[in-house]
Chains A and B, each alone.
Chain A
Amino acid sequence: QKEVEQNSGPLSVPEGAIASLNCTYSDRGSQSFFWYRQYSGKSPELIMFIYSNGDKEDGRFTAQLNKASQYVSLLIRDSQPSDSATYLCAVSGQAGTALIFGKGTTLSVSS
């Protein structure tokens, strides 16, 4: 059974701080990695994807991938109260299968 693990949280950070969200996965063959943000009562929205080892930056968001350690993370710089949401990590599985989602980490940013 392929798995994606995330700490459920809540992760609480003050406004302006860096929020660090982590995810580990079990399938060494996974090639694509995604971060989704889900506000309460809403559907998930894609915020970042990464395919290669290293860092990928997009505005205040940085995705980090370490395939050797089977670890992917999301950093949110200058956290805002509007970043308060559940963040879902998703990892590609074998060919012909759907993405595997973690259960998500709840982030709370206090003003």
Chain B
Amino acid sequence: SQTIHQWPATLVQPVGSPLSLECTVEGTSNPNLYWYRQAAGRGLQLLFYSVGIGQISSEVPQNLSASRPQDRQFILSSKKLLLSDSGFYLCAWSNGDNSPLHFGNGTRLTVT
């Protein structure tokens, strides 16, 4: 069966510090991969999605970036965090455009 791992579960970082969140999927090949952010009390905001290695689509222009160095690995990064980057970051995978998304457990990021 397929599983998705996302870490860390919680993170507290000062403003201006770098960020690296990692997500890996097991049990499937060539998945679509996604990064979402959910601010407190808000809906899901799509940040990035990827249909293959090295293929990244950005939905929101901001100080975040994503990379997919391997088929089942997706990394979210920032060089300098802003207060507004605080939120619940969710990685997800799917088998295609019309397939359901399956979410990881999320990372709760607090920028202080």
**B74, CB-defined interface residue at 8 Å:** no
A46 to B99, CA, bound (A): 11
Q: Which of A14-22, A59-67, A99-107 contacts B (4 or more CB under 8 A)?
A: A99-107
Which secondary structure characterizes the binding site on chain A?
loop
Are A98 and B49 neighbours in the complex by a CB distance under 8 Å? yes
Establish whether residues A103 and B43, one from each chain, have CB atoms under 8 Å apart when the complex forms: yes
- State the interface size on chain B (CB cutoff 8 A): 22
CB < 8 Å A-B pair total? 48
Q: Is the CB of B34 within 8 A of A98?
A: yes
B67 CB → nearest A CB, Å: 18
Q: Any chain B CB within 8 A of the CB of A44?
A: yes
Are B97 and A95 touching (Cβ within 8 A)?
A: yes
Report the bound CA distance from A20 to B104 in whole Å. 27
Contact size range, A: 20 to 34
Please pick, from A43, A93, A96, A102, the residue contacting B90 in the complex, using a CB distance under 8 A: A43
Q: Which of A78-108 contact B (CB under 8 A)?
A: 88, 90, 92-93, 95-99, 101-104
Smallest CB gap from A45: residue in B: B103
> Which residues of chain B have C-beta atoms less than 8 A from A52's C-beta?
none
Given A43-B105, A98-B46, A101-B44, does the pair A49, B100 have CB atoms closer than 8 Å?
Answer: yes
The residues of B with any CB-CB pair to A shorter than 8 Å are 32, 34, 42-44, 46, 49, 51, 59, 90, 94, 97-106, 108
Please give the residue numbers on chain A whose beta carbons come within 8 Å of chain B beta carbons, in ascending order. 31-32, 34, 41-46, 49, 51, 88, 90, 92-93, 95-99, 101-104
